[in-house]
Structure formats: structure tokens, C-alpha cells
Structure 1
Amino acid sequence: MSRFLFVVPPLVGHVNPTIGVAAELVSRGHEVAWAGHHDAIGKLVGPDARVFGCASPELVPRGSDLTGPAAFRFLWQEFLLPLGEAMKPGVRTAIGAFRPDVVVADQQAIAGGLVAEELGVPWITSATTSAELVDPLAGMPKVKAWLAERIDALRGGHGGPDPRMSPHGVLAFTTRELLGEVDLPHDDVWLVGPSIVPRPSTADFPWEWLTRDAPTVLVTLGTANADAGHRFLAQAAQALARLDVRAVLVDPDSSLTEVGDNVLVRRHVPQLDLLPHVDAVVCHAGHNTVCEALWHGVPLVVAPIRDDQPIVAGQVVDAGAGVRVRFSRATSTHLSDAVTAVLDEANGHRKAAALVGDSFRAAGGATRAADHLEKV
């Protein structure tokens, strides 16, 4: 049997897809360990998992006005590059102690690829978002060159493969039905579909509040956008209050105090358990939320904020599985019109969402990903 070391950043959306892959490997008799921020990773992978702690800088809050190339540069300069530098000693320790046969390195935990390459350990990229597969910086050559220089400096200026895209193989948690007919970076990019497995949730939920007398709409901006979402959530609450729907609105800061009787505001929800009861999702186009909704055939209203979200939102629209609104300018009227559009069966958004969901299940997810890792 083999040993697999997963190197992940302290970001929920980048850890969750790998949990199912790790569980599948363990069920086949392999050993699995993790390298990353001990407390953040430990909460997600469970108390029995072996976690090698790595240092991690704080994620600096970003306002909703920081978008486009400036947001990308800020994310890398203020968090991901410092994270790569901080994690390198911990990743070296993990590889030395665990002696993995394969390192599975998240695209945003670049220390995994850098250190594995340095030590001669085969490594595979975990692409938990499909944005990198389409080269998001193709239209920003100066930013692309800047990032390449910073990454090369992080490895000591010796050159080598891009730690975001392993030449040994890339696990891409998507399918052609969502990704579209784009050229992949190389032949060993494996479109395994999302890895969606049950996960424990501490969020209680008043299930009796749901009713099939009206469609149910979920509004969520994910785990990292609370600082940017106050205006948008307020507009969404107003929009939903005047529609014949039941709405669940996730507001981590509990900033909304006046909402319609048909709008339930919660700090947290058990999203995977809730989605089978939902008819539409309004979200920021985060890759995990999008994939989890489409897995259940639920159409989307996507309001991307920054980073990979505009790319994922474009994929949703191109697949016919939803409509897009502008996050910073969407009014309650825009949002009520968008929700009405995706709920209207005549527009075909639900049918398109179901087709993408079918492709996800056919791709194999965690099982197919484990097959590829065993071959490596």
C-alpha cells in the first residue's frame, strides 16, 4: 500500500473536495496525512486524521470594491505567496516524517509542489476550482509575469515547473459540461468531477419551516465574503420578500434585522443537507457552492465578486444552468427578475443544471480521483 500527503491551504473550499478522495484512499488500504494549518485543517478532516502543522499568515480582509487584477494581485501578494513561504518548513517536515509516495498539492498551497519537486517526490495538483485550467491571467500579461517572478523567487530562482499545475498530473474537480471546450494545459489533466461526500455539520436547521407550497431559494456568499456582502444580502432579502418563494438567507454576521415573513435568516446552514430541498441558489459563484448546487440539478443566480468567481460564473451561464448579475450593482429588482428567470421551467435552466449534475456523477468524483492517484 502507498502513502499520500495532502498539502492544503486553510480555506474550506479547497479542503472539502479532497476529504472524499482521502477517505476513498484509506478505504483501499492506503495511508493518508495532511500538511497545513493544524487547527483549521483539523476541524475539517476530523480528530483521527494525521495532520502536520504548517505556519500560516492571516488572510487580510478585502472589501467588495477590490476586484479584477488588483484583487488577484492583492490575494497573491498579501496571502498566497506569504503562505507558500510560511508552509515550506512544515511541508519538508511532513515529507521527511511521513515519507509519502505521492504528494497531492492544492493549487493555492504552492509549497506542496515546490518542496515535493525539490525533494524528488512525485506530486499531483489538486485543482479545486477550474479557473486555472483556462489561464485566468491570459489577458493580464503584466500580472502573469509578476506572479511567475514571485513564484520563481520562492523556489530560489532555480526555475522549474509551475507549482500550480503539476506535469505529473492534475486532479480537476469539474467536467466538460461545466468547463466548456477549452484547451487543457497538458494531457494529464483528469476531469474527475466534484468530490461531494457527506460532511458533519454543527448547524441546526428548522426543517419544519420549509414547505413545498412555494419554491425554496438559498442565498449564500460562502465562507470568505461576509465582509463584502452586506449590501448584496440586503438587496436579496428585499427581492425575495416580494416573491412567492420560501427563502433561506445565510448571513454570518447577523446584520439583517428586518426581512419578509417568507425569508429565514441563519448564520450557518447545513448546505449539503439543504440543497435537495432547494429550487434555486443565489451565490457568489464559488466553485464548491456551484458544483454542489449543480450536483442536485439546482439552477443558479451567480453574482461573482473576484478571483476565480467571474470565470466560474461564465461557465454556469455558458452551460445554460443559470443567470448572472453584477454583485456590486445588483438591486432588489435585478435579483427578483433573476430568481424568477431561473425558476421558470420554460427557460431551461433547471434542465441544463440537471445535465451538468448527471455529468458530475458519471465522472466518478473521489473514486476516479483515487484511481488516478493509485496509478501515479
Structure 2
Amino acid sequence: MTGRVLFFPWAWGGGAAYTGRCLVLAAELAAAGAEVAFADCGVTAMVREAGFPVLDSGPDAPRPPARHPTPPYLPFADVERVFAVAATFHRIERVRRRLAADARLIEEFRPTAVVIDMYPTAALAARAAGVPVVSLADADFVTPRANGWMPWSTVAPRDLLPHPSSLPVWDEVSRGLGLGPVARAEHLLWGDVTLVSSDPGLEPLDGPPHRGTPHYVGPMYWNPPAAAPEPPRTDRPRVYVTIGSGGNVARRALQNVLDACAERPWTVYVSSGFAFEGGLVVPDNAVVAGFTGLDAPLAWADVVVSHGGSATVLAALLHGKPSVVMPFMSEQELNGRQLAEATGAGVLLRTSATTPRGRLAFTDRTSGPADGPYVPTEDIRRGVEDVLADPRYTERAAEWGARLRARREAADLVGLVRSAVAPTAGVRR
């Protein structure tokens, strides 16, 4: 494929999975002959390690902070709350500054297509410039259902996170660009072609597309070219642990996981992410590595303990490995409910419920109603023991793995991007 493709991955709140998904597509496009570049809005260390150029958005463009304090659980009920709370895009001046930076990059790079992963300002800038948009998405990014990230909630999204709404801002900005009204924040994330990195049997859209055509393409995740330390050789049950890319919440939760695994007859291999702060007490049966990628440790593991990130749980299923999920936010809990418990391919250690007054109540799988901010060590230990003891978890993961591999192998990512660019694509701009 000839042409130039500019990527805009989301990075507020971490973003390694979004950047990684973009890198998968970027590598295929580059191999097919396209010129590829990334805006500096994602995890740029990953982009540079993969060998792609990073374009500077300029000093005035809003960017995610290098480190941001977060509570033990974030109840984002839908993408609008993510835009408003994580990126403070309820402030119109911030949206306009990011939009101006994105528009400048598009004007200078002159792409034949723009690829977004949960990045609304780049989608608006591209459409205003007449450039086709390809969207990489989880199904819950674009679902029309209410409380798309938290469908078990019984209250309005702003009852849980009462920041001002970003929707009036998106509507005003879109109208100002001549692109018409914005009725829902999810509509911003529909591309002329939308690639959903899952399977419809796992994550249905629950409604018609807002724009263009959605295509389920199977899991998309990135493995770093630099090799991480190899998982340990062992004859004991193998537990792979990956709970995000650092920060105080992840460190405390990871210590609970390590404590749960201590003195158990298992071998434990831990991905500590990109920006992990140390200070861990590591038991003798555990090895802590850096950013390990997913394929090698998943091929090694018997069970995966994770935060429930979409890329991680789907990759575990792809490899036929069951999951033990301990979520730090609502979308991760949704992944645990849909991709682990509903499939029978794992367990979810903590669930949330909403009260009529907009409060959250948590219940741990083993110990019941939760008082503490983190899943207790005994619940973690019991979850791993239960999954290791029951082969049906692995059998069900293997069944879904076969389906996901078939879907991923059948996906023509380059052809799908080409269809967005082709004049005969038949999509609305």
C-alpha cells in the first residue's frame, strides 16, 4: 500500500495498549509500502523502540502527565467520562488547543489516512481536512448502549464522576468545523472504517454502526523487539502476572499478588511495565522483569493474573490461557465479566455495584463485601488455586483461542485501511 498514514493513539491514564494496537497496524502498513508516522500523544517510548518517527505536537498541545495520582478504582461509565475526567476535555480551550495541534500535524504530514485509537480531536481534525479516518477500538468505545463501560450501573455516569460534561464542548467544536452536531461522545470514535480488536461473540456492539463499517479483526497487541528476560524454566505450575504500566496503585496491588504467591508451589513471572517504581518484597518463587511483551510469557504460563486490560485478557484467550482478573477501573471489570467469567475462561476477583446515591460497593470473590482499597491476598491466592485446580478454565480458554486465531488470521488489515482511502469505499465523511 502506498501513501502516508499518521497515527494518534490515546495515552491519558496509561495508554500502552492503545499505542501497541497502533504499532501492530503500523508495522503491517509499513511492510506493505506505506510511510508511517505517529503524533507524540501516545507512549512515545514504545513508538521509538518500534522504529517509527514521532512528530512533535508543539508546546501548547495538552498531553497526559508523566505521573498522575489515581484512586484504587475509577468508575468510568462510558467514554464521555474518560474524555471529561482523564483528559479534562470538558474545558473547551483544552480541546481547541489539542485540535489545533492535531490539525497542524495533519497539514504538515499530509496523510492519505489518519488512524486513531480513542483519540477524538484527531478524528475531528482529519474530517475537517477531508482525510479518511480509520478507528481502532474496543467494542465498548463505540457501543450505543447506555453506560457502555459499566452496564451493571444503575445510576447516570455523572453520578459516579461528577465532572462537567464534555459533550457540549464536542458539539460546539464539531459544529464550528462544519461537521455537524455530536449527539454522543462514542460517535467521535467511529471511523470511515472501524477495526474492533476482538470477536463479536465475545464483545457485541449492541447496535448499528454510527458511521462506516465495523470489522472484528481479533486481538491486536505489540511485543517489544528487545527481548525481556526469559521466563524461568520450571516443572511447577506457572503464574504470569501483569497488572499495568506502573504507578502507586499498581505497586500496592502487585505487592498483594506477590504476597499471595509467596511460599506457594508455583513459579511466578512478573511484568512490571514501562514505568514501574520499585520497593517490592519479592518472594523466592518469583522473577520480576520489565515490559515483557505478551507472547513469550503467555506461551509459558498456566494462568494469567492481570488488571483486566483488554489487550491482556484477549491475548490470554488467544493463547488458550485462563485469567484471574483484579480490576482497577470499570472497563477492566467489564473485561473480567465478559471475557473471563462469562466465557468460563477465568475468574473476576472483585465486582462493583452502584447505590441509588451514586456510591460504589465492592464485593470480593472469596471474602465478600470489601472494606479495603485492594483485593486481599487470600482472595488472590484462592483465585489462582481455583483456576489451576479446574482444567475446565483452560479448556474454555483454548476454545476461544481457536476462534480468535481464526478471526485474526482472516483479517486483512492493510486491505481494510485501503478501503477507507479508496474513493469507492462508500462511507460518509
Identify the TM-score tier after normalising by the shorter chain: 0.7 to 0.9
The equivalences for 1:58-73 within 5 A come to 58-59=64-65, 61-69=68-76, 73=81
Q: Taking every aligned residue pair, what percent have the same amino acid on both sides?
A: 24
Q: Secondary structure at the match of 2:412?
A: helix
Aligned to 1:49: 52
Q: Hey, what does 2:123 align to over in structure 1?
A: 113
- Structure 2 residue matching 1:146: 3-state secondary structure: coil
Query: In structure 1, what residue type is equivalent to 2:345?
Result: A
The residue aligned with 1:344 is: 389
Distance apart, 1:358 and its partner CA: 1.9
Q: Deviations over 1:100-143 (max 9, x none)?
A: 22211121x2111111122222212211x332244462555454
Does 1:356 find its partner at 2:356? no
Query: Which residue is 1:311 aligned to?
Result: 334
Structure 1 CA distance for aligned equivalents of residues 213 and 83 of structure 2: 28
Structure 2 SS opposite 1:179: coil
* Compared CA separation, residues 15 and 74, structure 1 to 2 (3 A): closer
Alpha carbons 1:133, 1:184 under 8 Å: kept: no
The 3-state SS of whatever aligns with 1:25 is helix
- Alignment-derived partner of residue 213 in structure 2: 188
For 1:375 and 1:58, locate their aligned partners in 2 and report how far apart those are by CA, in whole Å.
32
Rounded Cα–Cα distance in structure 2 between residues aligned with 1:193 and 1:325: 26
Provide the rounded CA distance (Å) in 1 between the counterparts of 2:329 and 2:5. 32
**TM norm structure 2:** 0.75
Relative to structure 1, is the Cα distance of residues 190 and 242 closer, same or farther in structure 2, using a 3 angstrom cutoff?
Answer: same
Deviation at 1:283, TM superposition (A): 0.8
| 1:105 and 1:124 in contact (8 A); partners too | yes
Partner of 1:150: 169
Q: Does 1:238 align with 2:262?
A: no
Deviations, residues 251-307 of structure 1 (Å, cap 9, x unaligned) = 5222222x4321223454344322211111111101121122222111100111114
Residue 14 of structure 1 is matched in structure 2 by 18
Which secondary structure does the structure 1 equivalent of 2:255 belong to? helix
Contact 1:216 1:278 in 2 (8 A): yes
Distance 1:71 1:120, change over 3 A: closer
* Alpha-carbon contact 1:253-1:267 (below 8 Å) kept: no
Q: Structure 2, unaligned stretches of length 5 or more? A: 351-363, 365-372, 421-429
Shift of 1:51: 2.9
Query: How many Å apart are 1:80 and its aligned residue?
Result: 5.9
Count of residues paired in the alignment: 367
With normalisation by structure 1, the TM-score equals 0.85
**2:348 alignment partner, one of 315, 324, 345:** 324
Indicate the structure with greater helix content.
Answer: 1
Give the equivalent residue in structure 2 for 1:77: 85
Assess if the C-alpha contact under 8 Å between 1:254 and 1:267 holds in 2. no
The residue type equivalent to 1:195 in the other structure is M
**In the superposition, relative to structure 1, how do residues 90 and 336 fare at CA in structure 2: closer, same or farther (>3 Å)?**
same
1:218 maps to which residue? 240
Task: After TM superposition, give the deviation of residue 198 of structure 1 in Å.
Answer: 4.0
- In the alignment, structure 1 segments of 5+ residues that lack a partner are none
Q: Which runs of 4+ in 1 moved over 6 A?
A: none
Secondary structure of the corresponding residue to residue 165 of structure 2: helix
User: In structure 1, what residue type is equivalent to 2:37?
Assistant: A
Partner of 2:324: 301
CA RMSD of aligned residues (A): 3.1
Partner of 2:398, secondary structure, is helix
| In 2: Cα distance, 1:343 partner to 1:279 partner | 7
